[in-house]
Amino acid sequence: MPRERGFLFASATVAVGLVLMVALMGAIVILWEMVTIPVFTDG
């Protein structure tokens, strides 16, 4: 595999991973707000 193609593949893999991570975090926040709101207590 040529060096340029390997770099492009690695960059695309990292980009897809970051997009999936951000989408997962967004889904967690949306579900968290729909299902339950955290209640912080003292002590």
Q: How far apart are CA 32 and CA 19, in angstroms?
A: 20
Which tens digits make up the pLDDT trace of 14-34?
Answer: 999 999 999 999 999 998 888
Q: How far apart are CA 40 and CA 43, in angstroms?
A: 10
Please give the biggest Cα pair distance in the chain: 59
Query: What's the whole-model pTM score?
Result: 0.67
Classify residue 14 by its DSSP letter: H
How large a percentage of the chain has pLDDT more than 90? Answer: 56
Mean pLDDT of the chain: 89
Collapse the DSSP code of 24 into the 3-class scheme (helix H, G, I; strand E, B; otherwise coil) and give the result: helix
Query: 43 pLDDT band (50/70/90 cuts)?
Result: low
